[in-house]
Amino acid sequence: MTSSDTGRLMRITIQPVEDRPGEYVASFRSEFLQARYCVYVKDTIFGAMALHNFAEMVRKAFGRNYRTGEIEFDVSPETACFTNQAFVDVVERRCAFCA
């Protein structure tokens, strides 16, 4: 992936909440609006649903401004110790909530 393509992906960053194992803050930064949108989630099925909904909200609100409209989750390897399979599926962009 070239550096110009990297800037065209919507990136959601997932960071752990300090001293709260299994709890995370996922955020998306809009450079144009000079704003950061965040959601607080837990490593549970409900957290996976909330993360999925947050990603869809970001895609619908900002996707037209990006070449591909794809979301990339930015998670550092040392903090990515998710235990819930649905949460992992969302982060890895697998079909977690298909009908």
Q: What confidence tens digit (pLDDT) does each residue in 33-44 have?
A: 899 999 999 999
CA 68 to chain centre: 16
Q: In whole angstroms, what is the distance from residue 61 CA to residue 95 CA?
A: 21
CATH 3.10.450 fits 3-91, yes or no: no
Residue range 39-67: average pLDDT? 88
Q: Which residues does 78 contact at the CB level (< 8 Å), separation at least 6?
A: none
> How is the chain split into domains, by residue range?
3-91
Question: Torsions phi, psi of 18, nearest 5?
Answer: -60, 135
pLDDT tens digits, residue range 19-35?
A: 998 999 999 998 888 99
